[in-house]
């Protein structure tokens, strides 16, 4: 009696599975390779979130005659960008507006670093007022300064933007301020 070779019949179902895998695997791989948008998770070795997540920065907004079009965006986990437009203004006058509310919900103090600049070369002096202290960001000559502020644990503070100029300014200028949490 002639022996029947059963091997092709056994292999064939597997070959069909392999063929299906040729279609399914690239499809799933392509879907998986498609990137998504997500916040970067910064965790320390113990799996506890870093102090930056305990900081709450809020744009106060509101109406002001020359400080308009305010926006606050989070550029990364520990950095914020505050933008506003400073409109035309009179000379020898000072303008002030509360711009940010910063809350430290953590149990350790944090250092808030401020760096602000304008897009034009005017003689505007830009200062931040936090509590009783003043922090100069830009002097009359256009010189820029980095300023650090310590925020105590479980406390909050309001940041005021303070402007003064000796000459009358007839145009609008954009002001940007970087806030980083260290």
Partner 1 sequence: MSKLLKRILKISVWPAVLMIAGKLLGIIIANIAYKLDFFIDNQIQGIFSIQLYYTDTATTLLVNSVSNLFMIIILAVPTIYFIIKTSIYQSTLQNPRTIVKITKLNVLSWITKNDTSFLLIFVWCSFLLVASLIIIAQSIQGISYSWIGGLSAVLAIFSIWGTIKTYELEIDKIYPKEKELY
| Interacting residue ranges for partner 1, rule: CB under 8 A | 8, 11-12, 15-16, 18-19, 22-23, 25-41, 76
Q: Do the Cβ atoms of 140 and 166 come closer than 8 Å?
A: yes
The CA distance from 24 to 78, in Å, is 41
Contacts for 119 with CB less than 8 Å, ≥ 6 apart? 173, 174, 175, 176
Minimum distance of partner 1 from residue 173's CB (angstroms): 27
How near is the Cβ of 4 to partner 1 at its closest, in Å? Answer: 15
Beta bridge partners of 101: 58, 158
Give the residue with the Cβ less far from partner 1, 52 or 101. 52
For the bound state, the minimum distance from the C-beta of residue 35 to partner 1, rounded and expressed in Å, comes to 5
Nearer to partner 1, 33 or 46 (CB): 33
Judging by beta carbons within 10 Å of its beta carbon (0-12, 13-18, 19+), is residue 128 exposed, middle or buried? buried
In this complex, which beta carbon is closest to partner 1, that of residue 30 or of residue 170?
A: 30
In terms of CB distance, is 39 or 65 closer to partner 1?
A: 39
Q: Which is nearer to partner 1, 35 or 141 (CB)?
A: 35
- Tell me how far apart the alpha carbons of residues 94 and 34 are, in angstroms, rounded to a whole number: 52
CB of 55 to partner 1, least distance (A): 18
Output the smallest distance, CB 18 to partner 1, in A: 6
Tell me the closest approach of the beta carbon of residue 70 to partner 1, in angstroms. Answer: 21
With residue 84 as reference, give the H or E element that holds it. strand 79-86
Q: Is the dihedral angle over the CA atoms 29, 31, 32, 34 positive or is it negative?
A: positive
Whether 57 contacts 99, CB under 8 Å: no
Whichever of 2 and 41 has its CB closer to partner 1, that residue is 41
């Amino acid at each position: 009696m002639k022996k029947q070779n059963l091997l092709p019949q056994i292999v064939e179902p597997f070959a069909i599975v392999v063929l299906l895998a040729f279609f399914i695997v690239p499809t799933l791989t392509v879907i998986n390779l498609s990137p998504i948008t997500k916040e970067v998770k910064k965790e320390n070795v113990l799996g506890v979130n870093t102090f930056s997540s305990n900081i709450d920065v809020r744009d106060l907004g509101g109406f002001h005659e020359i400080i308009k079009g305010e926006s606050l965006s989070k550029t990364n986990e520990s950095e914020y960008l505050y933008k506003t437009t400073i409109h035309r203004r009179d000379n020898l006058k000072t303008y002030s507006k509360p711009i940010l509310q910063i809350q430290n919900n953590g149990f350790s103090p944090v250092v808030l670093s401020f760096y602000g600049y304008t897009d034009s070369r005017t003689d505007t002096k830009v200062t931040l007022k936090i509590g009783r202290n003043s922090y100069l960001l830009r002097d009359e000559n256009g010189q820029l300064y980095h300023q650090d502020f310590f925020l105590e644990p479980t406390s909050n503070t309001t940041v005021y933007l303070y402007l003064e100029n000796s000459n009358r300014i007839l145009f609008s200028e954009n002001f940007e301020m970087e806030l980083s949490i260290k």
